[in-house]
A and B are shown apart, each in its own frame.
Chain A
Amino acid sequence: MRRRWLVSALLVGVVAIVAAGCGGDNGGSSSGGSTDVTGSISVMATWGGDEQDSFQAVIDGFTAKYPNVTVKYTSGGDNLATLLSTAVEGGNPPDLAAIAQPGLMTDFANKGAIQPIDQLHDQIVSEFGQSIADVGSVDGTQYAVMYKAANKSLVWYNVSAFDQAGIEPPTTWDDLTKDASTLKAAGITPWSVGVDVGWPITDLFENVYIRTAGADMYDKLAKHEIPWTDQSVKDALTVMQDIVGDSGNMVGGTEGALQTDMPTSVANVFTDPPKGAMVTIGDFAPGVTQTTLDPVTGYAVFTFPSIDDSPPSVVGGGDLFVEFKKSDAADAFLEYLTTPEAAEIWVKRGGFSSPNKNLDVSVYPDEITKQTASAIGEADTFRFDMSDLQPAAFGGTPGQGLFKEFSDFVKSPNDIDMITQQMEADAKKAYGG
C-alpha cells in the first residue's frame, strides 16, 4: 500500500515537472494564460442547476488557459452564507467563494478570514469602474471581484394578462397602481409576491425607498446612520401598502404570499394562464423557473417605475468573489474573472448581467437581457441591495432581522409603527449599539 502511494506521488511529481517545463516555452505570452500556475482550487457559490452549468463553462474557459490548474466547484445553494461561516469557524473554508452580501465580506475581512487582493485593484477599477471596486473593498483594501451583477429594479409581467386588461407597462407609480386595479377589474390578480424567504420583499422596499427618500438617505439607512423608525422608512412602507395592503392584490392572498417561495412567485407570472400579472424580482427571474412562454411575447419586463418624479435608480446585487486561501492558482482565477472574456462566456449562455464596462453589449443573447443589463449602466444611481449591506444577522438571514420584519409587514401591513420599532431594535442589536 505504502509503496504504491509513493510511486504515484513520484509520478505526479514527474508529470508536474514535465508540465512546468513545457509551460516554460510559452510562459509570459500575452494571452494571460499560463502553464506555470499549477494547483487545485475549490470554489463555492450559490449557483445550482442551469447557473451551475454556466459557471462550469466559465471555469472550463479558465482551465483552457491554465491547463495545470484544476478547479472544483461546489454549489452552496441558499445556505452558502451559513456554510462559509461554519467553514471559517472550523478553519476549513474553500479557496474561493462568491458571496452575495458585502456585509458578510466585511465580517470575514475583519476576522482576517479573507485575503487582500490589492494587486488586482487597478485592473478592477479599469474593468468595472470605481463604484464596483468600492463595493468589493473594506477600509480601502480590495478584497473582492464583483463578477456577476443583478439588476433588481425590475417588474416582470405576463404579456397576455396585460393585453386582456388592455394596459401598457407603466412608468410611474400612480400608473402602476391604476394598472393594478384595472387588472383586478379584469379578474386577474395583479401581483405575485414571494415572501417565504423574505428577501424578495426587502428588494421591493429598497426599490420604493430609493425612489421616495433618495440615494443619500438610502446610504444613510444602509449604514444605520438614521434609525429604521425614521419617517422616510414609514413613508416608504405606506407606499408599499398599495401592493401588500390588500390581500386581494396578491396571488393566494396574504397567507398564500407568505408561503410562496421566490421561484414559485416567478412561475405564477410566467405561466399561461397566469396566476398573477406582475412580480418584482431581479433580472435572474427567467432562470429560476421553467416556462413555456416566450420572452417578449409571453413575458416581458419593465423598469421599476418612478415615484413622484424620482430619477432612474437601480438597486442591484452582485456576487463578490473573495479569496480565503492565497495561492497562485486562486489569484489567477480571480484575475481571469475580471476579464471581459470570462463575462462573455456566461453572458452568451443567458441569465447573466456583467458589471464589466468593457463588455460589448451586443453579446447579450436576447432583447430582455440587453434591456435589463443596460439599465444598470443607464441609471443615474446604482446602489447595492441594502439588506446585503447589513450585518448578516440583521439583513441576510432567513427568518430573522429584516427578512422576518418585512414578512411581518406583509402579515399585518397596518402595524407600521410596531414593525419599524422592531427593525430598529434588531438593527441596534446587530450593530452592537
Chain B
Amino acid sequence: MTEMTTTVEAPERGLPPAREPGLWQRYGIVVIFLAPALVLLGVWIVYPTISTIHRSFYDRSGDNFIGLDNYRTLFSDATLRKAIENNLLWLLVVPAFVTAIGLVFAVLIERIRFSVAFKVAVFMPMAISLFAAGVIWRLMYEKDPDQGTVNATIAVVHNRVQPSGKLPNALPSTETVTGSTKGGLTLNTPLQPGSVAQIGLTGILESSMPPNAVQAVVPEPLAGGITGVVWRDFKPGGGTPGKVEQGELGLPNVTVELRDDGGRRVGTTKTEDNGTFAFDDVQAGTYRAAIASDTFAKPFDGISWLGASLITPSIMMAYIWVWAGFAMVVIAAGLAAIPRDLLEAARTDGASEWAVFRRVTVPLLAPVLTVVFITMLIYVLKVFDIVISIAPGSSQDDANVIALAMWRTSFGGVNDFGLGAAIAVFLFLLVIPILLLNIRRFRREA
C-alpha cells in the first residue's frame, strides 16, 4: 500500500515547476504505469473481496438474502466457536514462542563455532512447504512407536526405565483369577499346605510363547508345601477355560508370589518349563498365589499426539519448528546491525551477560522483534495448510482454526458458500487491525 502512494506522489514532486505540463503528461503516464498493478489488484483482490462480502449475506443456495444470519451461525455453531477459540490460542502462544526461540537461537548462534551449519539446520524447514512439513510431522506423530518417530524416541527411554514384562497382554482365563494386569493377578482360591493352585492365563499370542515351553501339567500335591501351575489356558477353538488340557502349554519362568492372609508376601518362586511351581515348607494357614504386576508391564504404546486433546499443541509445535528458523535469521540480521561498542561499554561497566542481553540487546532489537512478532500474528491468524495436513479426520474438529473452518464449510462437502464467505469476512476483519498497525509502523520508519 505504501509503495503505491509513493509512486503516485513521486512524479508530481519530481516535475519541473517551470513549464505547465499537459493533462496527458501529468496523468496519462501515471495511469499507464499503474494500470497493470491496478488491474491485477482489482481482479485478484478488490473484486473477490467485495464479492465475498456480498455472498456472506446470502444463504447456501445464493438466492436468498438472509442478512446477518450467517454471522450469527458463526458465533453460535459449536464447531466454529471451537475454531475461533483455537485461533485465539494460536495467537497467544505461537508468535511469542517463535519470537522468543528465534531470539535465543540468534543470540546463542553468534557465540558458537560452525554457526553457519547450525543456521542452515534451523532455517532448513523454511525451504519445505508448510503442507509438506505437515505431512512429515503427521508421520512423526503416529501413535504406534514402531511408526512414529516421536513416540519411538520416547519408547527408547521409557522401556529402559520400565522394561516391559514377560506377559504384557495376558488376561485371566476364569473369574477365579482376579485383579488387573496393572495391579497384578491373584488366584482367589484359598490355599493351604497340600493345595494345588491353577492359574490360567489367556490373551497370549502363540508365536510369543517361549520356545522352551512344554505341555502344561497339574502338579501332584506336596505335603507341607503348595504347588501349582501357570499356563496358557487356550487351545484352538478356545478349550475349556480353567482346565489344563492337552495342547495347552505351561508358562515358564513366571515369578509367582505366595501371600498370607494379610496380603504379605511370604515367598516367591519361578515356574518350570511345564508351568509348574512349588513352595516347600509352608506353615499351616491360608495363602493366596499371585503374579505381580511387573510381569504384565506393557511396553510403551505411544502418546496420542494426534488425538483430540493433544492435536492443537502438536500442530503448534510443528509450526514453531518451521518458523523458528525464519525468526532466527531475521533477528540475527538485526543483531549484526547493533553497534558493538554499546555492548562493550555495558560489559566494561561491569554488567553481567544476562543484564547486557536484557537491558541492551533486547531493547535495541525491539523493532526487529516487533516485525517478527507482527508477521507471525498475521500468519498465525491465517494458519491453514499445516493444520489440515497434520490433523486426522477424527480430530479435525478439535484442531479447527478459522481458515480451516472456512475451507471446510465452503469446499469440504458442506458447500455452504454463504457461511464460508462470512467466515472469510470475519477472518479478514481480524487481520485488518494488525495490518493497520504494520502500515503505521512502516510510515513511522520511512
Contact = CB atoms under 8 A, between A and B. Distances in A.
Q: Do A and B bind each other?
A: yes
Contacts of A184: 171, 202-203
B205 interface: yes
Is the interface on chain B under 10, 10 to 19, 20 to 34, or 35 or more residues? Answer: 35 or more
Interface in A165-212: 165-167, 182, 184-188, 195-198
Is the interface on chain A under 10, 10 to 19, 20 to 34, or 35 or more residues? Answer: 35 or more
Contacts, number: 115
A252 B144 contact: yes
B310 to A, nearest CB: 10
Contact of A166 (B173, B205, B238, B392): B238
Given A185-B202, A252-B143, A252-B144, A82 B393 contact: no
Interface string A403-415: 1100100010000
B238 A255 contact: no
A198 to B, nearest CB: 6
A79 B369 CA distance: 40
A197 B412 CA distance: 13
A89 to B, nearest CB: 7
Nearest to B391: A399
B169 interface: yes
A198 B416 CA distance: 21
A319 B179 CA distance: 52
A428 to B, nearest CB: 14
A255 B413 contact: no
Given A185-B173, A187-B169, A399 B414 contact: no
A355 interface: no
B223 to A, nearest CB: 35
A82 B394 contact: no
A163 to B, nearest CB: 7
B143, B411, B415, B416: residue with the most chain A Cβ atoms closer than 10 Å? B415
Contacts of A39: none
Given A166-B238, A184-B203, A398 B411 contact: no
Contact of B306 (A164, A197, A259, A400): A259
A105 interface: no
Interface in B209-260: 233-238, 241
Interface string B75-92: 000010000000000000
A27 to B, nearest CB: 43
B313 interface: no
Contacts of B306: 259
B238 A411 contact: no
Contact of A187 (B142, B205, B394, B414): B205
A192 to B, nearest CB: 13
Interface string B381-396: 0000000000011111
B5 interface: no
A110 to B, nearest CB: 10
B417 A89 contact: yes
Contact of A255 (B203, B304, B396): B304
B143 A182 contact: no
Given A197-B393, A392-B413, A256 B144 contact: yes
A411 B205 CA distance: 27
B95 to A, nearest CB: 27
B207 interface: yes
Interface of A: 81-82, 85-86, 89, 107, 163-167, 182, 184-188, 195-198, 252-253, 255-256, 258-259, 261, 273, 392-393, 396-400, 403-404, 407, 411
6 contacts: A85-B415, A164-B206, A187-B206, A197-B393, A399-B397, A403-B393
List the 6 shortest-distance A-B pairs measured between CB atoms, nearest first: A166-B236, A397-B413, A166-B237, A187-B205, A185-B202, A399-B396
Interface of B: 79, 142-144, 169, 171, 173, 202-208, 233-238, 241, 301, 304, 306-308, 392-397, 408, 411-417
